[in-house]
Amino acid sequence: MRKTVCLLFAAFCFAAGALAAVAGVSVESFIRQRLSPQPKELEIFEGMYVLDGDSAVHISVSSPLSDSQKLAVADIFRRYWRLSPALEFSEDAANANLGPEGSETEISSGGIKIRARDFSALRQALKTLRQFAEAERDGPGQVFALAKIRDFASLEFRGIHLCVFPETTLEELEKYVRLAEYYKFNYVVIEPWGVFPFESHPEFAYADRKIDRKGFKKIIDYCRGAGIVPIPQLSVLGHGSQSRHLSGKHAVLAAHPELANIYEPLGWCYCMSSERAGKILKDLVSELHEFYGNPPYFHIGCDEAYDMATCYKCRAQNPASLFVGHLDKFRKFLRSRGARPIIWHDMLLDREDPRWAGEVASGTRDTAKALGALGKDIVIADWQYGGAENGGGFNTPKHFKEAGFDVLVCPWESDSGISALAKTAKDEKLFGFLQTTWHHIYGNKRYASFFRRAGDAAWNGGRPPAGGKFADSALTLIPELSHVAGDMKASYSAAGTSLSQISKSISD
């Protein structure tokens, strides 16, 4: 009798403790802090459900899944939880109304039921459950708090821009892509910096730093399988050195001075008057576009074109006309290949214009005039790196939208800027969101901004993320990066946020 009372008391304490608090925060708050992106609606109820090998999971979608999609779902359960529950699939046409990538999940004492719009929505719902689950103490199952989760994507274009520097290993690139997938991005712009092994013009990469073609292709193919569209990038104006300008390195001219006539005299911009430059660039664009599987977008850069039109031939012409002609050439070329060009915005804003004070603008009165003459099928990627607290009102996306363009907002490492730009995209009904990372992706806490925070901001249109004791702590990244590292069987260097635990990269 005494033993029974003790057991009942212990069970009561366990239940009460589990519902009331975990290390000083409520259970609901703790669960919310473990989820990124946050679901649109989350209700937590008293009690728990244990998913194990004997469980059945009910899944309905708006139209039948293919056999390979069903196998992929079973594989997700094995990969996430080492479990093979019975999966019961059904169709419900009403699920088509759940919103973009939308789903409703009910976890009750009777089991887990997922209503998803389609296969893509189902995968997104399962990603949330992966973060939601707790490993069963001393058992093989997964414990879920009883809950109802309703979710859908606020922005339909959620991209992240990744550079492949000579210093980037393919294993790290794979990790970035998998992290993008993990946090529900659905586009990834991958920009090789002097490392792509071009067959048409092998001289357009550092001879000793070309990436392995097969390994790179595998990553591109992985994107497609994961529901992410890989977008190639090659700048066709500035950044022609394919190197950071402060480094003084040049992927082409250092080894091939015979190609100087396709660049402006300072070697940063390609020459817009050179027919040879135009022909080579089209070859490079074609090759990259094909390598990435001919996706519907191609990013042609065109930012920070500091020395554009400075050669003797260009400077005799109208810079705005040259600029428009150059962009239009590549726009038409890409349209003929079935793709829309994406360009960075900054040359299209006059840096002296007081309307853009405090915002990124690299152009002149002449180059800004080009905006009115550009084809409206160009997507403008508006990169604004300030924080919302710095008076960065982000007026520029609206400016481009009103000029008739599809606009991607592109934050960098300011958390407030990430949220504010995503909110701007949602409020202004813009084309989407493209997180930039640049060289700051190497190690340190910015992973929380680039992947976790940005993924949430893009999915939820900048809605404030969950706050709390663990929300801004590096601890939340541990299970998430462990999931990704485990999925890809990452080496020590590629696991986590840094190449090593003890390095300068952690503090800068």
Interacting residues toward Zn ion by CB under 5 A: 271, 273, 311, 314
**Residue by residue, what is the 3-state secondary structure of 233-275?**
ECCCCCCCCCCCHHHCCCCCCCCCHHHHHHECCCCCCECCCCH
Could you tell me how far CA 403 lies from the centroid of its own chain?
A: 26
Q: Is 83 left (phi over 0), alpha (psi -120 to 50) or beta?
A: beta
- What is the smallest separation between the CB atom of 313 and Zn ion, expressed in angstroms? 5
* Residue 396 identity: T
- What is the smallest separation between the CB atom of 37 and Zn ion, expressed in angstroms? 45
- Taking alpha carbons only, the member of 503, 481, 506 closest to residue 131 is 481
Instruction: Select 240 or 301, whichever has its Cβ closest to Zn ion.
Output: 240
Cβ of 189: how many Cβ atoms within 10 Å?
A: 24
List the beta strands (DSSP E) in 102-232: 103-108, 111-116, 134-135, 142-151, 158-164, 187-192, 229-232
- What is the smallest separation between the CB atom of 252 and Zn ion, expressed in angstroms? 16
* Residue 121 identity: A
- What is the smallest separation between the CB atom of 316 and Zn ion, expressed in angstroms? 10
Separation between Cα atoms, residue 325 and residue 110, nearest integer Å: 64
Instruction: Select 142 or 273, whichever has its Cβ closest to Zn ion.
Output: 273
- What is the smallest separation between the CB atom of 262 and Zn ion, expressed in angstroms? 9
Instruction: Select 276 or 332, whichever has its Cβ closest to Zn ion.
Output: 276
Please check whether residue 419 is in contact with residue 462, taking contact to mean a CB–CB distance below 8 angstroms: yes
Instruction: Select 121 or 311, whichever has its Cβ closest to Zn ion.
Output: 311
- What is the smallest separation between the CB atom of 174 and Zn ion, expressed in angstroms? 39
Separation between Cα atoms, residue 330 and residue 237, nearest integer Å: 11
- What is the smallest separation between the CB atom of 364 and Zn ion, expressed in angstroms? 16
Cβ of 52: how many Cβ atoms within 10 Å?
A: 14
Instruction: Select 51 or 271, whichever has its Cβ closest to Zn ion.
Output: 271
Angle at the Cα of 185 from the Cα atoms of 446 and 481, rounded to 5 degrees: 50
Instruction: Select 208 or 312, whichever has its Cβ closest to Zn ion.
Output: 312
Taking the alpha carbons of 15, 17, 23, 27 in that order, is the dihedral positive or negative?
Answer: positive
- What is the smallest separation between the CB atom of 315 and Zn ion, expressed in angstroms? 8
Instruction: Select 87 or 308, whichever has its Cβ closest to Zn ion.
Output: 308
Separation between Cα atoms, residue 130 and residue 148, nearest integer Å: 15
Instruction: Select 112 or 311, whichever has its Cβ closest to Zn ion.
Output: 311
